[in-house]
Structure 1
């Protein structure tokens, strides 16, 4: 018996007649300033411990859009998922679906919502007598979410532009126009400029990672003087500038950057010391919206958040394993506490239900060390010792404090922005790991898989000598140069879900032998390659091109 799993294709994800006949006024479809904040994510189950917990739980569930009134207008598997009372579908059994299939379903949902918002905008403009085929770029009556941003003022411009648009506009297809020195840059956004926009925006948000220590960096433990135990192992990795390095606009005005960089794990995390005023929280909300928009528009982002960020987005409770992935040495220290065989935990570890951490934004006058903040993990925690029977509760409260309470405002703003854009029913099909894959793509680059699916144009074919020389050069590149080639041609240096075998890729002949460099159309993943006279010349010209790929969106 053969079972075929169908998914929503671009053509299938159309809006039904009932939706076409229901024009919506702009005021009815959304509110400005990102719209009203959605309700928080699902509450976490209470932890099992022998001590009372005062750790704040994750916010309650974020709402998702209501199912359409006319399920017949949707392709059957997706309609069955949204309206299960009337249909049966494999979408209700997500463990049967591959990440690629889930990605296609999500893209089908996105295409449906994009078309709905485009048509709703056009009908609204026609009713008001404002409809025109020649609307200026960025007009609120345009069927696209059109952003005009200055390269030198990218983050503030984006924040301002998105905040002024109705929430429903975030469901439109995205188009971006860059300006420099007040002048619009050349180039039409067919996807390449959008990719460049996301790369630059994320780079600014993550730049300037602060040198911070996670809570627990000053924990004493057995044998601390000899360099052992929790005291030695729990020091959180010190941050360098992170991959972005240096000061940048990701740093909230007058305060630290949005994210800290954990050097040991090479991951970013929400900076506990970042300000929680409305302006800084708006930036975290924009970050969440940017992730949602990237998923919605099929753009892979080069970000390095720990898996717990995606687990929390899906309503999972943080665990010690999550903390260990973010800060391996801190996780090892807490595991040593749990594994200590003796009954004299209280006397050996000398810990109470208190967490201590470095806070560069405040100096606690009562602390033994200047700049160290002490926080009780429960009422009266400073007077409650950690014993053999309560150490499990201590570790649980500690983990929740570090990964939840300490960054609760920042994460809530991030989650609100994400779910405002990407909160449809299709998202519930994904596991946290699959969601991370959807956002970041796959780091492994299988160039042989890419060669198998590559198409050729302009006189090239798989058997052409210049094409053979090209793939010989590519296969012998180190990984970093292969990533540069992928970035030069597609605008992203990571593979999509399912690997490079799922990436549309074209190598096109752009003329006879010349000294000119190869070029690319990142909108369509096309490499324009002259027919160079030798493999050595091809290699030299290609390496120069991929090493200088900024501004690729103009092609």
Structure 2
């Protein structure tokens, strides 16, 4: 039976402060007992709370207090809060975002993010949500060379054909994904679980290939489960076709046949090429950007599927729970016919 610890937020915050104070330097003789080190007894809600609290603390640490500045007409007024401001034009969203992210110092990336569009100075969460929603869609449409789609065009993976000069784009894409998680937003791209396994140093497996490509994964499972002793006669070789090009998985022996004896080697090599070798530079740049923002040590709290859920959002929603927790910002009450019609739909 699954076992999780329940605790109140105050205890959790105290434990986080202790973890932050001792994570860099621990007393080897008397290391403190810190709950954050025992991630397996925490449920997802507590893990997310720890991560969000740590992000809030880090944001405050990287921000300077507001100063009083003199305005010729208004006298002494508070300066703008020391946030990380992205001042963007909607018609140049991707270009402006990448330019400003590339120029931003690390300390700015770890401040509270504020997005402003077309010189509108007001601070609102709506702009930030709008920013992440449209920017990730724009990246896929304007920079298709960065990604490949699976057979059904439902999942995205890094392209194996990305040029060296485009590696900076993967770094900035990683920064954006890190910013989304750090600022409680979601990424509007359908990445397979293998991305989050790799971020958490979990090796890809055949099941990751099955998720990404039913055709390729199904063929590999067929080879693995083949019962007879004549697999070599099925004419499978170590030459594969991936992301639009032919690849020899064993360059020392081109056209090597897949046999009953080497089929596990072939499957492992296929998965390793698709999810590791072919995208090594692109993924490392993405990873570098992602962890420029997010605390890599604290993300170890999560299982890969948990990290996937909080970054990409859930595919299945509890609509009744969502209805009960919805707040309405206009005067119409929940009993208004239009609102009732919405929930019925």
Fold shared, TM-score > 0.5 on shorter chain = yes
Match of residue 273 from structure 2: 401
Deviation readout 1:430-489 (Å, 9 max, x if unpaired): 111110111122232333212323456776666xx42xx345312321xxxxxxxxxxxx
What are structure 1's unaligned runs of at least 5 residues?
Answer: 13-74, 124-131, 136-141, 208-248, 252-256, 360-371, 478-555
| Distance in 1 separating the partners of 2:32 and 2:49 | 20
User: Alpha-carbon deviation of 1:303?
Assistant: 1.6
Residue of structure 2 equivalent to 1:6: 8
Q: How many correspondences in the alignment?
A: 325
Structure 1 partner of 2:224 = 338
Structure showing the higher helix proportion among its residues: 2
| 1:412 maps onto 2:300 in alignment | no
Q: Paired residue for 2:340?
A: 472
- 3-state SS, counterpart of residue 407 of structure 1: helix
1:435 equivalent to 2:307? Answer: yes
2:240 match:
355
Match for residue 143 of structure 2? 250
Task: Choose 186-195 or 387-396, whichever is displaced more.
Answer: 186-195
Please give the alpha-carbon distance, in whole angstroms, between the structure 1 residues aligned to 2:146 and 2:341.
40
Maintained 8 Å contact 1:198/1:301: yes
**Following the alignment from structure 2 to structure 1, what is the Cα–Cα distance between the partners of residues 34 and 211?**
36
C-alpha RMSD over aligned residues? 2.6
TM-score (norm 2): 0.85
Structure of greater Rg: 1
Does residue 201 in structure 1 map to residue 135 in structure 2?
yes
CA deviation digits over 1:8-46, x for unaligned, max 9? Answer: 69xx9xxxxxxxxxxxxxxxxxxxxxxxxxxxxxxxxxx
TM-score, with structure 1 as normaliser: 0.54
Structure 1 position 4, deviation (Å): 4.4
Q: Please state if 1:89 is matched with 2:34.
A: yes
Shift in Å, 1:424: 4.4
Aligned 8 A contact 1:77 1:91 in 2:
yes
Query: In 2, Cα distance between the equivalents of 1:444 and 1:358?
Result: 30
Aligned counterparts of 1:457 and 1:146: Cα–Cα separation in 2: 26
Tell me if the contact between 1:145 and 1:170 (Cα under 8 Å) persists in the aligned partners. yes
Question: In 1, Cα distance between the equivalents of 2:313 and 2:91?
Answer: 28
Q: Which residue of structure 1 lines up, in the alignment, with residue 14 of structure 2? A: 76
Correspondences of 1:177-196 after superposition (within 5 Å): 177-179=116-118, 184=119, 186=120, 188-196=122-130
* 1:169 match: 108
Q: Indicate whether 1:323 and 2:204 are aligned.
A: no
SS at 2:148 equivalent = strand
State the distance in 2 between where 1:337 and 1:452 align. Answer: 50
Q: Distance in 1 between matches of 2:10 and 2:158?
A: 35
